[in-house]
Amino acid sequence: MATSTSGRTLVIAGKSRAFSASAEEDLLAVLRKKAGLKSLLRGCKNGRCGACRVLVDEALTRTCGTRLESLPEGAIVTAYEEIAKDPNAIHAIAIFEGSRPSRCHLCVPALGLAAVHLVRLGKRGDRAAVDEVLEGAACMCTGRASLREALLK
């Protein structure tokens, strides 16, 4: 029996790239294996930890369990690799690690991405916006409180 595949062209780091995925592959597998985005991790396996998140057309999106065909053709995907040197990401990560160092660093790329996302929305320091972003993120070593503190400063 043949395995069905789907395809999409995505924009990653400013470049259009064509991707295909089998029915068994989620977006996380496609982006890690075929786009080389190693910051995306399969943490909790159900989308609650946030380690697999990217921005898709500026919306925070979990990649585990998400299918390639659910994205619009030409969607702009932004991963931590693209924003790692952004001062907002660096600031949030420095506060997080300075206040309560994580052990595994599983959450660090997602934290940086969330910080940049909040700034782009004009909601840096906005408690309600931070809480909304943290609904899909967690630090398995220290909990959400340390992530919240880092995003509010």
22-65 pLDDT tens trace: 988 999 999 999 999 999 998 877 777 888 999 999 999 999 98
Q: Mean pLDDT throughout 109-136? A: 87
- Predicted confidence band of residue 100 (pLDDT cuts 50, 70, 90): low
Q: Which CATH number fits domain 84-152: 2.60.120, 3.30.70, 3.30.2320, 1.10.150?
A: 1.10.150
pLDDT at residue 149 greater than cutoff 60: yes
**Where do the CATH 1.10.150 domains begin and end in the chain?**
84-152
Architecture of domain 5-79: Roll (3.10)
| Cα–Cα distance, 66 to 147 (Å, whole number) | 24
Per DSSP, what are the bridge partners of residue 17?
Answer: 10
